[in-house]
A and B are shown apart, each in its own frame.
Chain A
């Protein structure tokens, strides 16, 4: 079932007099299903943040519509269901984390006891308990990011919108947030996730949409990138002709173009017959790879193609 539907949405910014209008989002359509982790990726200026802001009602689309559980945004109370973490959250300098969470809870209709319990739980999980009474201006960038996550999750929202959640985090912080997202996924939350760290997107998302210049380029299923690496060998070979490709495929291997040559994916069971064929046909092996296709390669390739 669709939780959020973005239907033919366009948005143009007017930077002011005598300046060219900027088309941030152009006829964008996709849907986010209940309980899935949906990743929106794209280069800077692809319209990711604009899409999120339209979803939150901070800006209005010029055309198209956004539906939340089948109802238009204006009539739906999405704010009660949503937890939002912006990229580089700017929080109130002179407030403490406890005060910030208390504000968040009160505006979300929580009672003080609930705020206390849930706040404590999140602060423990995100390792902010010791800093709970410190003014937010004394927090490091990573701590502010984690405080922003606490703010987004306090009212236990069913949809979590994360705009670059790993930005500014050290490897330990990243792991912490990564595990938290996995935990939210297990709890059945719908997660809408924007990030430039494609490795995280690849590992976390059930579905991924690639945007560039405000347009949707491609949508992928998470499985498109994940292979059972333990049981598969990826070999980079010299270029294969049509017949050689068919022969490899008939022996149980998969073939795709990779630079000047080809990349073969061979399961452990089929490795010997394919290898014998490669030796017999004098096909040169140039190296091996750890994955079939990375999101990063695909991202760069697609964006380059579109720019041309």
Chain B
């Protein structure tokens, strides 16, 4: 366990000192500032737009954090053969995977926490400026939505670790991870469409394609599960069951991915 935390610590430090982080943070701050500037144009919808823009800014920043910094934290180890040095120490391959994941996870959490503070300040400021247009707004819903942005990127970080464990290049890891993310955020809509009556009118969708999409929908993470933007923006009720299911889904998905990654990684050879 000590080795896992030691590895997680250096991974976190390596990530948090990366200069790209400043760029990503500045971009997110710009989006928050932009939100304050343009909020007045929306009047009646200012509450909904504010929540939507803030959650989108957090999501966008998280995405950049995972793809531009997170990918390099593990894939570069393999790319540059730093892993030879690390594995020459008494660290098992499974410990390496969990250590790296925890480090990336901690890095994303700290970075998003910082942006979350700025996001709360933005929402708080606009809430004070336009209190009449924030009807139905709930801080609890906003916090839950922000928390699930973090859960979403925790799953994405596990995907990055998984692909890093099977490929030797950070570029391939990046391509696979982006593809998984794009499929993951759209898969729910595709499945809904195929099950809807509109799809019955489409002749080109064969049964085999439908089966294939069904299988893919179970394998690819459904990122829509972690999207609470609608509830947060419109002040809708979020049931504890949905929170529990979404969180459980994320936790199970991460555990399975990391176990698979550990299994593959322990059989892998490092030339």
Chain A contact residues, CB within 8 Å of chain B: 13, 50, 53, 56-60, 77, 79-80, 82-84, 86, 89-95, 99-100, 102-104, 106-109, 135, 148, 151-152
Of B6, B7, B13, B89, most A-chain CB atoms within 10 Å: B89
Whether A99 touches B13, Cβ cut-off 8 Å, given contacts A58-B270, A59-B271, A106-B6, is yes
Cβ-based interface call for B14 (8 A)? yes
- Which of B77-85, B124-132, B190-198 sits within the interface? B77-85
Contact B14 A103 (CB under 8 A): no
Of A82, A103, A135, most B-chain CB atoms within 10 Å: A103
CB contacts (< 8 Å) of A95 on chain B: these are 10, 13-14
Give, as a whole number of angstroms, the nearest-CB distance from A23 to chain B: 14
Contact B9 A103 (CB under 8 A): yes
Q: How far is the CA of A126 from the CA of B90 in the complex (A)?
A: 24
Query: Can you offer 18 A-B residue contacts whose CB atoms are under 8 A?
Result: A53-B84, A53-B270, A56-B88, A58-B269, A59-B269, A79-B88, A79-B91, A80-B90, A83-B88, A90-B80, A92-B10, A94-B18, A95-B13, A102-B6, A107-B3, A109-B90, A151-B85, A152-B88
Closest to A104 in B: B89
List B residues 222-267 near A (Cβ within 8 Å). none
Whether A90 touches B89, Cβ cut-off 8 Å, given contacts A59-B269, A95-B13, A103-B10, is no
List B residues 2-59 near A (Cβ within 8 Å). 2-3, 5-7, 9-10, 13-14, 17-18
Contact B2 A107 (CB under 8 A): yes
Q: How far is the CA of A59 from the CA of B87 in the complex (A)?
A: 11
- Known pairs A53-B270, A56-B88, A91-B85; list 8 more (Cβ under 8 Å): A13-B271, A79-B89, A89-B85, A92-B82, A102-B6, A107-B3, A108-B90, A152-B88
Whether A148 touches B271, Cβ cut-off 8 Å, given contacts A103-B9, A106-B6, A108-B90, is no
Contact B87 A56 (CB under 8 A): yes
Closest to B267 in A: A60
Of B13, B14, B82, B88, most A-chain CB atoms within 10 Å: B88
CB contacts (< 8 Å) of B89 on chain A: these are 79, 104, 107-108
Give, as a whole number of angstroms, the nearest-CB distance from B31 to chain A: 26
Closest to B6 in A: A106
Give, as a whole number of angstroms, the nearest-CB distance from A76 to chain B: 12
Q: How far is the CA of A95 from the CA of B2 in the complex (A)?
A: 19
Closest to A58 in B: B270
CB contacts (< 8 Å) of A84 on chain B: these are 84-85, 88
B156-179: contact bitstring with A at CB < 8 Å (1 yes, 0 no)?
000000000000000000000000
Whether A60 touches B269, Cβ cut-off 8 Å, given contacts A92-B10, A95-B13, is yes
CB contacts (< 8 Å) of A50 on chain B: these are 271
Give, as a whole number of angstroms, the nearest-CB distance from A102 to chain B: 8
CB contacts (< 8 Å) of A83 on chain B: these are 88
Whether A86 touches B85, Cβ cut-off 8 Å, given contacts A79-B90, A106-B6, is yes
CB contacts (< 8 Å) of A90 on chain B: these are 80-82, 85
Whether A86 touches B81, Cβ cut-off 8 Å, given contacts A58-B269, A92-B14, is yes
Whether A103 touches B6, Cβ cut-off 8 Å, given contacts A95-B14, A109-B90, is yes
Q: How far is the CA of A148 from the CA of B85 in the complex (A)?
A: 9
Q: How far is the CA of A107 from the CA of B88 in the complex (A)?
A: 10
Pairs of residues from A and B, 4 with the lowest C-beta to C-beta distance, nearest first: A84-B88, A94-B17, A106-B6, A90-B80
Give, as a whole number of angstroms, the nearest-CB distance from B162 to chain A: 21
Whether A58 touches B87, Cβ cut-off 8 Å, given contacts A90-B80, A94-B14, A106-B2, is yes
CB contacts (< 8 Å) of A60 on chain B: these are 269
Q: How far is the CA of A152 from the CA of B86 in the complex (A)?
A: 10
Q: How far is the CA of A102 from the CA of B85 in the complex (A)?
A: 14
Q: How far is the CA of A79 from the CA of B270 in the complex (A)?
A: 16
Q: How far is the CA of A203 from the CA of B80 in the complex (A)?
A: 32
CB contacts (< 8 Å) of B270 on chain A: these are 53, 58-59
CB contacts (< 8 Å) of A148 on chain B: these are 85
Contact A56 B84 (CB under 8 A): yes
Q: How far is the CA of A91 from the CA of B88 in the complex (A)?
A: 13
CB contacts (< 8 Å) of B13 on chain A: these are 94-95, 99
CB contacts (< 8 Å) of B10 on chain A: these are 92, 95, 99-100, 103
CB contacts (< 8 Å) of A13 on chain B: these are 271
CB contacts (< 8 Å) of B82 on chain A: these are 89-92
Give, as a whole number of angstroms, the nearest-CB distance from B97 to chain A: 15
Contact B90 A107 (CB under 8 A): yes
Closest to A100 in B: B10
Closest to A163 in B: B84
Q: How far is the CA of A91 from the CA of B270 in the complex (A)?
A: 17
Give, as a whole number of angstroms, the nearest-CB distance from A74 to chain B: 12
Among A86, A102, A106, the residue within 8 A (CB) of B3 is: A106
Q: How far is the CA of A79 from the CA of B89 in the complex (A)?
A: 5
CB contacts (< 8 Å) of A99 on chain B: these are 10, 13
Contact B84 A77 (CB under 8 A): no
Q: How far is the CA of A104 from the CA of B17 in the complex (A)?
A: 20
Whether A53 touches B271, Cβ cut-off 8 Å, given contacts A103-B9, A106-B2, A108-B89, is yes
Give, as a whole number of angstroms, the nearest-CB distance from B123 to chain A: 33
